[in-house]
Structures are given as structure tokens and as C-alpha cells.
A and B are shown apart, each in its own frame.
Chain A
Amino acid sequence: MIELQKVCRTFTVGDQQVAALRDIDLKLDAGEYISIMGPSGSGKSTMLNMLGLLDRPSSGSYLLDGGNVTELNDEQQARVRREKIGFVFQSFHLVPRLTAAQNVELPMILASIPAEERKARVQVLMQNYGLSDRADHKPDQLSGGQRQRVAIARATVMNPTVLLADEPTGNLDRNTGWEVLKLLEGLLENGITLVVVTHDAEIGARAQRQIHMLDGRIVSDESTQNEPK
């Protein structure tokens, strides 16, 4: 479904070139559960941003469902992000002035979905994620775990095919982290492709496919047969 071919990403800092990704070849299939691990600065976040079309490769190409998305313009890429990709961030990134429900509604507003349908879908999701009684709360009135659940609801409200999570448990205590992870893994039942970047080997080990990175390269890519949960 997703294929990276010889993708490089170099940043120019001053007059120095920093290579964050070097010649990455990677194929992700629909419904896979992948974890990306590696030391700090190894290029995990850059890889995830690349997969989510937030970043463009310096060289190489990105094929999505057979089409080369590196050639799409800003508006077309935005459309792909809107319809096919969901993001979950370490620091939640909720809009502080909007309520939990409004944050979840946001992607549907951008996608011009009618208000009644938005309300209905938000209600269902809030219910599913146990947030019904927090719908009208602002993010600063929510706990970390609740915030991340709102963020996951927002990432999934458009029914994306790929969910990209960059250290989703990084700002949470252990128990809450596990709960959030269970929630993400639950999405696999709907056939979503889940990519989780993590420092935590225990969390990373839960994925069927584990990718290790070092210095901008994939150093290992192992598939195990262990079932999640």
C-alpha cells in the first residue's frame, strides 16, 4: 500500500548538511502493526512525517496505493492527509480554545462534512472512547490520558487507512500509556495500518513488525507472529 523507494531527507543547518534519512526502502501493507524504534536522533520522527506527507523527500519517491505522491501539489497532498492519514502526537496537539468535541470535529470541518453528520460522528466516537461526559471540556480541564484519547478520536474520525503515532505514550504515566496503546491496537480490528514510534522496547515488542533505525538507516526489520494483547 505504502512504498518508500530510496528516500533521503537532508536538512541544511547553517552550511552543514544533516542527513536524517538515508536511502530508505520500505513497504507497508494494509492492516499491518509496525513499531519504529531507535536512539534519539536516528530519524524516527522524520520517517513518520515522511509517511504522513508532512515532509517531502529530498530524493527518492513515495508511492501510495501505486501513485507517486511526491508529485502531488499542496492541495492534493492535503487531501490525502485529510482522507487517508491520521496523526497522534506525543504532546497531543489539541487546540486549547476548542472543547474536546470541537477538537474531534475539526478534521470533518476541514473536509466540508455537513454539521449534522459531524455531530453524530463525534457523539459516537466520544461514547466509544469513554469521553461523553468530557465533551464540553477544554483540553486544560482534561487529564493527559483523556487528552490523548481525544487526540486519537480526532485522528480516527475520518476513518483513515493509516494511523501514525509518534511516541503516543511519551507524556503519559505507565498505566495510562498502556490504556492508550490498547485503544490504538483496538483500531487494528477495523483494518487500519498502525505505525507507532517509541523508545519503549516493551511497547515496541507488541507490534508484529518491528523496525529499528540508526543514524537515518533501517538497521533491522523483523516480523514476529505474536498476537497483540
Chain B
Amino acid sequence: MKLADTIQFASGSLRGSPTRTLLMMLAMSIGVAAVVVLTALGEGARRYVIDQFSSLGTNLVIVLPGRTETAGIGPGLMSGQTPREITLEDAQALLRSHAVKRFAPLTVGSATLSRDALNREVVVLGSTSDLLEVRHMGIALGRFLPAGDINDATPVCVLGNQMKRELFGNEQAVGQWVRLGDRRFRVIGVLASQGESMGMRTDELVIIPVAAAHQLFNTSGLFRVLIEAKSRDAIEQVVHDAEAIMTERHGGERDVTVITQDAVLQTFDRILTALTMAVGGIAAISLAVAGVLIMNVMLIAVAQRIKEIGLLKALGAPGKQIRHLFFAEAVLLSGIGSVAGLVLGYTGSFIIGQVYPMLPVSPPWWAVLAATMTALGTGILFSVWPARRAAKLDPVAALAGK
């Protein structure tokens, strides 16, 4: 019997009992769709987190005061004693490392921002001109902090997009004066809208020169220092150098924590990939269930078509041929079921992507491949027994329907 005829005969048998065929394909396609949608969600979450991290900057190394042994997220926040602060001189000393491309010191505080009668509490960032590059920010209007002496407390500020709108509406903001606390600052630029990134709403920030921030908040310590390494490979060198330089400057005491964006990113990446695989695996169980269903229905089909099997044998079909016919049915069932499942899964992912636009949902290729293979595999595997049973039927008894 030719392959094309085998397939045609098998599809004829499937069409012969449409309800049963549809139900089996439905079970198969739901399984495949579940794998596709769930892994798409997991992968979406992973990519979301990675995008968020990447938007912070590339090849970022962060130095913060205080020492913690835990290498997780937010070290320094949980240390008990007040550590020695990092000064602007400390930060500048970091440039001694050849692996450092540029750095941006960061001082954070809050103050009242006012213009005429309008006022608001805002988060104020004190930094330098390099922050724009290090932190991947964009300028919508005017310009960013001027380059120059790090100790110059020039009274200028850059407004977050939302601050500009709240204080100036559609009016010209650049060149105008605003008050931060009891000091006057001239607006020299407005940040491009960036939305939320890692819990920091740049839209609601006001950025001023770091020296001005130190005067405003009456401090000399930095909140942290953001360093951009020259390349990905230079990150390790930067970490090493930063620790060495800070230890040297702090009288031999290692009282700063240096974390890399990469380390945090990799941790998240690992966790979320594992999660995606786990979720996909659970969904794949539904494929196995579909496989068992196929087996059950095939066994019923063997019993129902017993006379037909007997007849085929009487007409000269060897057992092998009968087996192939049932195999072909299983492959068709799970093949069409998988394709339907993929369509269903991609449609589902697309809809989720429309509902949650910030989540970059797209099913990972390995999950799609695994789902399809599992579907075909279970379909074929679970048809082995029914097919063998059919092939082994005694033709005389089968013809008699026994």
C-alpha cells in the first residue's frame, strides 16, 4: 500500500467519526496551546525584567556605601551601622581605573519644587552631565546638566517630563526660574518621557548638579556612584578596581558594596527561565493526558472497526499494514491537533500582548518545538498499543465481530 493511499485511507477513517476526531484534536490542541501561551507569558516576564534592567544602562557597576555580605538586591539598605560616606573625591578617584568609561555620582533627596503659587514635593537627583549617558536618559527640550567642574554648584535644573507639565503646562519652561526648597534654579532642560523603570519614575524627577544637591541637602556623602565599564568584559576589572580604590581611600577598610547589573540580571534570568520551563512542563502534562485520551479512543476505534480490520486482512493486508493505518491516524490526529494548538496558542499570546502591552509576550522557539514534538510523540507513542492490537487480530474472529 502506498504512503499517499495510507494517509488518505486513515484520514477517511478519521472523517468517518467526526465528533470523536474533533474531540481528540481539541484535547491535543488545548495541550499545545497551553504550552505556547504559558511559556510565552513566562518568557514575556523574563524579557520584561531584562528590558527594565537594560534600560538602566549598559555595563553598569554600582558602588554604594556600607558593606553587606549578601549579594542580592538592595544591599546596603539593611546594614545596621552608618558606614563611612562616599565623597565626590572618592568618586573621582574611581577614574584611575582604566576599565572605567565614565561615572555619575548620585545624591538623592526630596524637596519642595515651586513656581509662583504652584508647588510639589519632588525627588531631587544630584548628579553630573555623564548621568545622561550612563543611565540611558533622553532629553526632550533644552539640554542636560553642563559638563565642567564637578564641584560647581551652578543653580540649574533639568525637569522630569511630568514635572514640566505640572508646573508649566504648555508654556515655555526652558530659561524659566523655579524654586527648590529655598534656592532658585534655572530650568535648562526637560527629560524625555520614559515611564517607569525599576521603580524610579524619571518623569517625576528633578535633576541638579551634584554639588548643588549637597548644598541643598547639606550633605557631602553620595547615595551611590554609577560606573559604566568600557565593555562587558571590563566589568570584572571595574569591580575589582573600585573595591581596591575605595578600600585604599578609606584607610584600608572595605566599607563599600560594589554590585554589577549583570549579576542581578543573571539571577533574574535564571529564576525566570526556570519558572518558564516549569510552567511549560506543567502544561506539557496536559499533552500526555491528551495522549492517553488518544489511546483510549483508538482502542475503542479498534473494537468498533473490528469487522473492517478483519475484512482488510481477508483482502490481503498484512498485520504491518493495519498497524501503519492506525499509526497514520495517530500522526494525522496529533499533527493537525498541534497545528491547531499552535494557531490557538499564538492567537492567545497575541491577545495577551494586546491586553498587557508592556509585557513582551512571544512564545520561545524551544517551547513551540517541544510542544509540537511532545504532541506528535505522545500521539504516536499512545497509538502503538491500539495499532498492535489491531494488527494482531485474528481475521476470522474479527470478521465475525468478536
Contact = CB atoms under 8 A, between A and B. Distances in A.
A203 interface: no
Contacts of B348: none
Interface in B363-396: 395-396
Contact of B321 (A87, A110, A154, A158): A110
B317 A97 contact: no
Contacts of A81: 313-316
A207 to B, nearest CB: 23
Interface residues of B, number: 25
Interface string A72-93: 0011011111110101010001
B223 interface: no
A95 interface: yes
Interface stretch (B246-254, B259-267, B304-312, B354-362): B304-312
A172 interface: no
Nearest to B395: A54
Given A93-B399, A110-B1, A75 B318 contact: yes
Contacts of B109: none
B5 interface: yes
A78 B1 contact: no
B399 A97 contact: no
A54 B313 contact: yes
Contacts of A85: 316
A98 to B, nearest CB: 7
A199 to B, nearest CB: 18
A89 B396 CA distance: 12
Contact of B316 (A93, A97, A98, A107): A107
B9 A82 contact: no
Contact of B318 (A49, A78, A97, A106): A78
B83 interface: no
Interface in A54-76: 54-55, 74-75
B308 A110 contact: no
Interface of B: 1-2, 5, 9, 12-13, 15-16, 307-308, 310-321, 395-396, 399
Interface of A: 49, 52, 54-55, 74-75, 77-83, 85, 87, 89, 93, 95, 97-98, 106-107, 109-112, 154, 158
20 contacts: A52-B314, A54-B395, A74-B320, A75-B318, A75-B320, A78-B316, A79-B318, A80-B316, A81-B316, A83-B316, A85-B316, A97-B15, A98-B12, A106-B312, A106-B315, A110-B315, A111-B316, A112-B1, A112-B5, A158-B316
